[in-house]
Amino acid sequence: MSENIAAMEAEFNRRIAAGETIEPNDWMPEKYRSQLKRLISQHAHSEIIGMLPEGNWITRAPSLRRKLALLAKVQDEAGHGHYLYSSAETLGISREEMFDQLHSGKAKYSSIFNYPTLSWADMGMIGWLVDGAAIINQTTMAKCSYGPYSRALLRICKEENFHKKQGMEIIATLIASGDTGKAMVQESFTRFWWPTLMMFGPHDTNSPNSPDMMKWKIKLKGNDELRQRFIDMTVEQAQKWGLSIPDQQLAFNEATRSWEIGEIDWNEFTAVINGNGPCNQERMETRRSAHDNGKWVRDAAHAYEEKHRSKITTAA
Amino acid sequence: MSKTNSLPEPNDQWNLWEVFIQESDNEPHRHAGSIRGADAENALQNARDVFARRGKTKSIWIVQSDHIVATTTGDSASFFDPTSDKVYRHPHFYKHTLDDELWKK
Ligand SMILES: [Fe+2]
Ligand SMILES: [Fe+2]
């Protein structure tokens, strides 16, 4: 029996090493399955909770053009959540179970969505920084070994560029509008810079699941490498816009040709991840009430389908 | 061969459907993903709202996920094996053309 499992595991490792994708009905180690369930459902929750900070500004968008764009972006995020829940379901966890984990506070989601959106500039900042960081993560993850997750990510990546570009347009417009607009952007940038860097997760040396996940190609690059890629890209963009980066220790390393930052406040990161960020409670309450208030819609659709089915059976 | 999805019974959730999208006249329908829908009409509308958000959609097919039957990775080697030694089904198997000496003999 255990010999059998060892053989299956060897074959599994061979397939991973050969770059094959693993599909729902294939044999996989229990830990591979459970890691993926955790990772994909967390990602799905992040897309869904991620709609809330932006949803906050839809009714207050400064023009119809901005309102249409923001609405379309938030709808895209709902779709992303859906793709991801579907791919997690192929691992044998139901959507209800995942919702329960989210609503009971058991499941985690990206820490960034527990920060408030206080000004219109934050809508630009989320598109530019948060979606920008997500793009770096997701394009890398799209090459992961689990087929349904990889395909969902490919689809998501195609939609993300619009999110980032509409954000950058908001920022450029505010900066061009004069001192007040630029000050609004700077204030927002100062609030979002560090929380965005935390999105990439703890240092690899403090990331207990990393070695297994790398071996199984669930994860393809370390947190620090991806964070650095984001920093190098974003520092240059911020400088072009004339924004100042809230980090006294930021310095360009000529040897590595990259920007070195000061230390991230990991206490803040831990607090936010564990439910004590500025908006954790509000996000969870909003999410739970949205789910409860939508119950009659789910029930009505069920009842309609049942009534229809019974009509067909009686007619036959 | 086996069913692609061995999911727990949906309770509060609607039925699960697979979505196939055709982008233009000359292309086949391709699998895009799955969708929830109480009935076929509801599932089609949801599929449109999620998978056809940016034009480029000619038609959508949906089919209930538990109606799909598929090969499995484990079986596929032996299942597809019979075709691997039939090189004569490919054009490159045939060597002689007008330039060859063969037809002159
Ligand atoms: Fe997204
Ligand atoms: Fe996005």
Q: Which of B4, B5, B33 sits opposite A155 (nearest CB)?
A: B33
What is the spatial distance between Cα A85 and Cα A127, in angstroms, rounded to a whole number? Answer: 23
Is the residue at B3 inside a domain? Answer: no
Looking at the structure of chain B, the number of domains it has is 1
Contact residues, chain B to chain A, C-beta under 8 Å? 2, 4-8, 10-16, 32-36, 38-39, 42, 49-50, 53, 70, 72-74
Answer yes or no: are the C-beta atoms of A89 and A81 closer than 8 Å. no
How far, in Å, from the CA of A5 to the mean position of ligand 1? 37
Count of other CB atoms within 10 angstroms of residue A296: 9
Hey, are the CB atoms on A27 and B74 less than 8 Å from each other?
A: yes
Hey, are the CB atoms on A92 and B6 less than 8 Å from each other?
A: yes
Q: Give me the residue label for tokens 């067909």.
A: A312
Answer yes or no: are the C-beta atoms of B22 and B57 closer than 8 Å. yes
Hey, are the CB atoms on A94 and B10 less than 8 Å from each other?
A: yes
User: Which residues, at least 6 apart from B102, have a Cβ–Cβ distance to it below 8 Å?
Assistant: B96
Is the residue at B35 inside a domain? Answer: yes
- Angle at A179 (CA atoms; ends A173, A181), nearest 5 degrees: 40
Is the residue at B73 inside a domain? Answer: no
Q: Looking at residue A22, what DSSP letter applies?
A: B
Q: What is the CATH number of the domain that holds B61?
A: 3.10.20.520
Task: Indicate the SS3 state at residue A185.
Answer: helix
Count of other CB atoms within 10 angstroms of residue B68: 13
Hey, are the CB atoms on A89 and B7 less than 8 Å from each other?
A: yes
Task: Indicate the SS3 state at residue B31.
Answer: strand
Is the residue at B72 inside a domain? Answer: no
The parent domain of residue B51 ranges over: 14-67+81-104
Q: Give me the residue label for tokens 């999805």.
A: B5
ipTM of the complex model: 0.81
pLDDT tens, N- to C-terminus, chain A (316 residues): 577 889 999 999 999 999 999 999 899 999 999 999 999 999 999 999 999 999 989 999 999 999 999 999 999 999 999 999 999 999 999 999 999 999 999 999 999 999 999 999 999 999 999 999 999 999 999 999 999 999 999 999 999 999 999 999 999 999 999 999 999 999 999 999 999 999 999 999 888 777 888 999 999 999 999 999 999 999 999 999 999 999 999 999 999 999 999 999 999 999 999 999 999 999 999 999 999 999 999 889 889 988 888 877 666 5
How far, in Å, from the CA of A146 to the mean position of ligand 1? 19
